[in-house]
Structure 1
Amino acid sequence: MSRKKSQFVDVIGAVARNRPVLIFISCLVNLLLLTTTIYMLQIYDRVLSSGSMDTLIWLTVISLGAIAIYGVLEQSRRLILSRSASFIDDQLNAPVLLRSMEKRLSGGEPDAGVSDVADLRNYYQSDASLAFLDAPWSIVFLGFVWLLHPTLGTIATVAALFLLVSTVVNDLLTRTRQREAAARLKAANQTAVRFVDGGETISPLGMAPAIFSRWRELHGRARAEQQILTEKTATILSYTRSFRLAVQVLILGTGAYLVLSAAITPGAMIAASIITSRALAPIDRLTAAWRRFVAARSARRNLERMFEGLETAPERVKLPRPEGVLSVESVSFMAPEGNAPILRNVSFTLESSGTCCAVIGASGAGKSTLCRLLVGAWKPASGHVRLDGADVHDWDAAELGPHIGYLPQIVELFPGSVAENISRFGALDGDAVVRAAKMAGVHEMVLHLPKGYETDVGPHADRISLGQRQRIGLARALYGDPAFVVLDEPNSNLDGAGDTALLDALRQLKKQQKTVVVVSHRAEILKATDKILVLQDGVVAKFGDRDDVLKPVERAVRKTAVAPERVQRVIPASDAPKQAASVRQHNKMTSTAAE
């Protein structure tokens, strides 16, 4: 059975198809580099001895033509490499971001795929790739030096071997320390970013001196490693450059001795010096390019692992717009490296569109996990989440996304305007943005922002409060007329006006026959629902019509003379028959914090 190729293999294969052309052009380029050497050799050995002006003119014309061709060919191979780099960037950046997002959503640490793509791209568009294309020609140039005289060839060959050994030694001495320095510098930078983000906590609590001392210690270690690495590299490069100058002196000195001995001509002496310089140049460039080559090689391995087992996605059949019929079939989910499943064999069905279902349960019961599974952010370990009969993971995410509205418990607004965030950064439809904002009750609030819908928001937009973020997030969830809406603790940061707007939005969704799943324990929210799902330790403790689930709780509340409108947390129905004296204890046990 033939092994199917991943998208990464396809992209690298497409780039590799340029290799024969690049090798052929590099052959011509390196041969044409001998133009000035041959020109000088002919000037010394023919023109000056014969005094022929015609020979001088023709040699000059031919040499200038060869140099012009060299310029065109050099530009051609640089353009091929530059476009290959752009192709890699265009084809891999989006899949890498998606893969990193999927890994993050599954609970793992995201891969540094974007930086790996950058390392690969930089290698192709830099002189490093040219250095490796030109390196084999060092052998050809050394052969020319040997043809001029074996003694000169021996000196040049020893010099080339010494430079190669220096490159390898430099890599061996600095490779481990380079990785350590990069890791420590990355950790120090990440710590600095976290400290800056936590400024509103650090400053009032007087933590700044201790925090700065901590960062300075981390940064100092990284800087010390970097300094040692820089000094070692500088030492090796300095000795290498000095050695190259010494080689030129030896070649000229030995050549002069051979001229005096009548073993070679003066032109051959000059030619040997130039060709030796040409032979050593690619090797010298390899020393400078080696680190970039190592980074590109590591990036390629990382990307191969990232895309391993991921075949190029075939084109999927486009499914019709869902009506919102939800079916959850024996769904279980376990966090990465977890010992116990978060959800176990969860099953329920919302058989008709327009149904509003509340999910309640104690902290850690798996409510937020269920929400992520319902919208396809996470994939269950077993079982299926179906929308109109189709598994949500059988849909193309770009096709399903517009039909789903999702408000997570922690709302993220991304760098951009309010309008762009509400419109999910798609084609901006001003009418649809305003319609979603009005439905979420956030239109007037947005108009009072400094630039209205053009106000920039994002992780560091301090002018946007948590409550405002949540209401903008609700508008984003409602944007585009979704058929299925999932709201995870949608009123955790809302004030009275926000609560009212949320209730109005739920009523409008029901009126529009949208299927809604909402995580909330607020009594006023529960009154607006049709069904209630009670989760307890990751399993379904109760599922049914709202009144059937809440009636035992309401009886217990009445016995304790607590006004129903003040009940903010709901006891699972299975606990309701207990005595009224224990109601408060159950409420405390089942109060929900952020999962």
Structure 2
Amino acid sequence: MTLLIRFLRLILGTGVFVLVFGGVELTQPETSTRWAVLGGTLGVLLLLHVWSSPRRGTADDPHPARMSDGKPQSGRAKRQGARPSELAAALAACRSAFASVALFSGVLNVLMLAGSLYMLEVYDRVLPSRSVPTLIGLSVLVAILYAGQGVLDFIRGRILVRIGGALDEALGARVYSSVLKLPLKVGRNGDSMQPVRDLDSVRAFLSGTGPTALFDLPWLPLYLAIIFMFHVLLGLTALVGAIVLVLLTVYAERLTRKPVTSGTQAGIVRNGLTTTGNRNAEVIAALGMGGRMAKRWEEANRDYLAEQRSVSDIAGGFGAVSKVLRMLLQSAMLGVGAWLVIEQQATAGIIITASILSGRALAPVDLVIANWKGFLTARQGWQRLTKVLTVVPADAEPMAMPAPSRHIFMQGVSIAAPGTQRLLVQDASFALEAGHAVGIIGQSGSGKSTLVRALVGAWLPAAGRVRLDGADLDQWSPEDRGRFVGYLPQDVELFAGTVAENIARFEPDADPALVIAAAKTAGAHDLIVGFRDGYETQIGELGEAVSAGQRQRIALARALYRDPFLVVLDEPNSNLDAEGEQALFQAIVSVRQRGGIVALVAHRPSALGTVDFILAMNQGRVQAFGLKDEVLAKLFPRPQPAVAAMPRLRLATEEPAPPLGAAAAGE
């Protein structure tokens, strides 16, 4: 690419040299003056390009400003040490690439004058003088300039594509991370992948033709000024047309703002229904809900299409109007020019040239209108992304902390579901030392699963503290905290990949010995090697390739990977058979024997055989906590056996009572 740019500079330099120094030889003095002005302008722009040619931010390297660690840093960040907006900082990191695009746009817009001036000279000088050498010279020059224009336009497009790619590269992982954390902040609402789609829309706009129109718009006054130089009436005609088109664009923005917003929201609802239906396909098929779910989706899709149709109608209508206005303006320029020729105030070449220049001046406005829908979509995506990245800030890297090994303490913890204010757990407190296990019991909806979500750091407490060895959970980074926490949720889901990858939590270059050790501890090793491909068996999306019981045992092995200090199991035996339950109990015993802590949510009494503490939940509060036998005796006191009636003592002188049958016969 560097050689291509140097070759382009050579072509442009040759063209400018011929334009400036060969104009007098080719045409009349008046003509040479016009071409000299153009050549001088091109020469200045070319000189600026040579001097300010960025070594970064071109088509070869769209990452212009990097810190020592390779991460982009904006100018404001360099001055203040903080970035107010991650999106703005990512774009600011490409500022030298944008400067290159602006410079290329400037050169391109000046080069685009060549065709108009070529036509002017052909009509006004070549045809009257019938000079073939002049025609050949002008044709060679304009061919050189057209070639340079094409190469510059190609390079400008490549730079814009790489700017979009650089933005995606800088923010892609960050946006995906926010997608993972957003449900833990605001709950599951609508289309969870919308932030990723928003980033795609911003990247697509930056990589398309929309930015080129925005970079070409500032050159509109140059074309108008040249038209004014031909004649004031021609300039006023072009100016009026430009003002009308700009006002049309502003009005189009006002009319499309609301439909675009509504259409995006309708699309989020529609995509959310699609995701939900796909995730619950088995239930929908079993219960015969397919038709009803399809009807709900169809209604949401109808709303989405209606909003999209409204936006398309408005954009298409304004596009048609702008096209008609452009043609009308060109005809008006021809009419005014013809009148000026009749009045002998202009030449025939000026008529054609002014008409072409006016069309060129208003072409960026037309392009802006054509890309207006994409611009609005990208702008709203930008706004939503900014909001999402603000709600889910990047994790600060805390100081490295040693793994806990002594105890866990929950103090006055109250928990609300993400995105709601209703407390599901209130003022929960308990403490547990290493080597012990607590069974968490209670009726459905009492807050057991909510409690353990806060225990592993998945949900943040609204009040209170969860501490390991005296340190709050957020004193460890999520990556470090995950190394000493094992979690088996109530709804077990595995990820697309192999059994080994799922057990190793997709850790790169995982030690096979640790994977096998976790599987053996969970009692899943024999189960896994029984698969045709063993640990390399592909599980499929959501673990659909294995049964529910197998999925639960593999997930238990994942929870036990690397011998975590805290192991939290939420109803781990819900899908297990007798063999699986026995393996589960042995795993809990092994965790306790190595000095770990187990928190077990259980409904079956058999699961409590391996715990020594009980925490009872009732309506979101801790009802009781203590040793297992004491708490169970308090919650479920054994009924006292009924006292048998003492036989009445009979004196020896008393006659024995007659038998029941004899008494009845006597009656």
Partner Cα separation in structure 2 for residue 442 and residue 81 of structure 1: 52
Counterpart in the other structure of 1:249: 331
Partner Cα separation in structure 2 for residue 303 and residue 37 of structure 1: 44
Range with bigger deviation, 67-76 or 272-281: 67-76
Counterpart in the other structure of 1:99: 178
Counterpart in the other structure of 1:63: 142
1:409 aligns with 2:487: no
SS of residue matched to 1:457: coil
Shift of residue 287, structure 1, vs aligned partner: 0.3
Q: How does 1:139-288 map to 2 (within 5 A)?
A: 139-288=221-370
Range with bigger deviation, 125-134 or 244-253: 244-253
Partner Cα separation in structure 2 for residue 99 and residue 192 of structure 1: 21
Counterpart in the other structure of 2:427: 345
Which structure is higher in RCO with an 8 Å CA cutoff and minimum separation 6? 1
Counterpart in the other structure of 1:367: 448
Partner Cα separation in structure 1 for residue 319 and residue 420 of structure 2: 50
**Alignment deviations for residues 301-329 of structure 1 (CA, whole Å, 9 cap, x no partner):** 22333334776655421222333532223
Identify which of 594, 601, 610 aligns with 1:519. 601
Q: How does 1:45-56 map to 2 (within 5 A)?
A: 45-52=124-131, 55-56=134-135
Counterpart in the other structure of 1:476: 558
Counterpart in the other structure of 2:120: 41
Partner Cα separation in structure 2 for residue 216 and residue 499 of structure 1: 45
Counterpart in the other structure of 2:468: 387
Identify which of 548, 562, 565 aligns with 1:466. 548
SS of residue matched to 1:360: strand
Counterpart in the other structure of 1:303: 385
Shift of residue 406, structure 1, vs aligned partner: 0.9
Partner Cα separation in structure 2 for residue 539 and residue 146 of structure 1: 81
SS of residue matched to 1:342: strand
SS of residue matched to 2:187: coil
Partner Cα separation in structure 2 for residue 324 and residue 65 of structure 1: 79
Counterpart in the other structure of 1:85: 164
Counterpart in the other structure of 1:593: none
Partner Cα separation in structure 2 for residue 407 and residue 535 of structure 1: 20
1:21–1:200 CA distance, 2 compared to 1 (3 A):
closer
**Alignment deviations for residues 270-319 of structure 1 (CA, whole Å, 9 cap, x no partner):** 22122112111100001012222222222232233333477665542122
Counterpart in the other structure of 2:611: 529
1:5 aligns with 2:83: yes
Counterpart in the other structure of 1:327: 409
Shift of residue 35, structure 1, vs aligned partner: 2.2
1:12–1:190 CA distance, 2 compared to 1 (3 A):
same
Q: How does 1:534-545 map to 2 (within 5 A)?
A: 534-545=616-627
Shift of residue 255, structure 1, vs aligned partner: 2.9
Q: Is the 8 A contact 2:418 2:459 kept in 1?
A: no
Q: Is the 8 A contact 1:412 1:458 kept in 2?
A: no
Shift of residue 99, structure 1, vs aligned partner: 3.0
Partner Cα separation in structure 1 for residue 288 and residue 195 of structure 2: 38
1:3–1:534 CA distance, 2 compared to 1 (3 A):
farther
Partner Cα separation in structure 1 for residue 598 and residue 134 of structure 2: 90
Partner Cα separation in structure 2 for residue 245 and residue 267 of structure 1: 19
SS of residue matched to 1:414: coil
Shift of residue 197, structure 1, vs aligned partner: 4.4
* Paired AA for residue 5 in structure 1: R
1:4–1:419 CA distance, 2 compared to 1 (3 A):
same
Range with bigger deviation, 265-274 or 93-102: 93-102
**Alignment deviations for residues 536-569 of structure 1 (CA, whole Å, 9 cap, x no partner):** 333333333334434x2xxxxxxxxxxxxxxxxx
Partner Cα separation in structure 2 for residue 204 and residue 401 of structure 1: 37
Counterpart in the other structure of 1:397: 478
Query: Matched residues, percent identical?
Result: 37
Counterpart in the other structure of 1:576: 636
Partner Cα separation in structure 2 for residue 195 and residue 77 of structure 1: 44
Counterpart in the other structure of 1:564: none
Counterpart in the other structure of 1:425: 506
Partner Cα separation in structure 1 for residue 524 and residue 279 of structure 2: 27
1:420–1:312 CA distance, 2 compared to 1 (3 A):
closer
Shift of residue 120, structure 1, vs aligned partner: 2.0
1:167–1:534 CA distance, 2 compared to 1 (3 A):
same
SS of residue matched to 2:440: strand
Identify which of 103, 122, 130 aligns with 1:24. 103
Q: Is the 8 A contact 1:360 1:534 kept in 2?
A: yes
* Paired AA for residue 83 in structure 2: K
Q: Is the 8 A contact 2:260 2:377 kept in 1?
A: no
Shift of residue 477, structure 1, vs aligned partner: 1.1
Shift of residue 401, structure 1, vs aligned partner: 1.4
Partner Cα separation in structure 2 for residue 348 and residue 463 of structure 1: 40
Shift of residue 491, structure 1, vs aligned partner: 1.0
* Paired AA for residue 587 in structure 2: A
Partner Cα separation in structure 2 for residue 329 and residue 26 of structure 1: 63
Range with bigger deviation, 284-293 or 339-348: 339-348
1:127 aligns with 2:214: no
**Alignment deviations for residues 467-511 of structure 1 (CA, whole Å, 9 cap, x no partner):** 222222112112233222111111112122221221122222223
SS of residue matched to 1:135: helix
Shift of residue 65, structure 1, vs aligned partner: 4.1
Counterpart in the other structure of 2:74: none
* Paired AA for residue 143 in structure 1: A
Q: Unaligned stretches of 5+ in structure 2?
A: 1-79, 642-667
Q: Is the 8 A contact 1:7 1:311 kept in 2?
A: no
Shift of residue 423, structure 1, vs aligned partner: 2.0
Identify which of 488, 491, 494 aligns with 2:570. 488
Q: Is the 8 A contact 2:416 2:423 kept in 1?
A: yes
* Paired AA for residue 113 in structure 2: L
Counterpart in the other structure of 1:503: 585
Shift of residue 116, structure 1, vs aligned partner: 2.3
Range with bigger deviation, 308-317 or 429-438: 308-317
Partner Cα separation in structure 1 for residue 406 and residue 148 of structure 2: 66
Partner Cα separation in structure 1 for residue 561 and residue 344 of structure 2: 89
Partner Cα separation in structure 2 for residue 12 and residue 579 of structure 1: 73
SS of residue matched to 2:326: helix
Counterpart in the other structure of 1:294: 376
SS of residue matched to 1:223: helix
Q: Is the 8 A contact 1:148 1:268 kept in 2?
A: yes
Q: Is the 8 A contact 2:182 2:392 kept in 1?
A: no
Partner Cα separation in structure 1 for residue 640 and residue 111 of structure 2: 96
1:161–1:39 CA distance, 2 compared to 1 (3 A):
same
SS of residue matched to 1:136: helix
1:580–1:282 CA distance, 2 compared to 1 (3 A):
farther
Counterpart in the other structure of 1:590: none
Instruction: Kindly name which structure, 1 or 2, has the bigger radius of gyration based on alpha carbons.
Output: 2
1:401–1:207 CA distance, 2 compared to 1 (3 A):
closer
Q: Is the 8 A contact 1:6 1:310 kept in 2?
A: no
1:216–1:495 CA distance, 2 compared to 1 (3 A):
same
Q: Is the 8 A contact 2:108 2:152 kept in 1?
A: yes
Shift of residue 221, structure 1, vs aligned partner: 4.2
Q: Compute the TM-score of the two structures, normalised by the length of structure 1.
A: 0.84
Partner Cα separation in structure 2 for residue 389 and residue 80 of structure 1: 53
Partner Cα separation in structure 2 for residue 155 and residue 224 of structure 1: 39
* Paired AA for residue 519 in structure 1: V
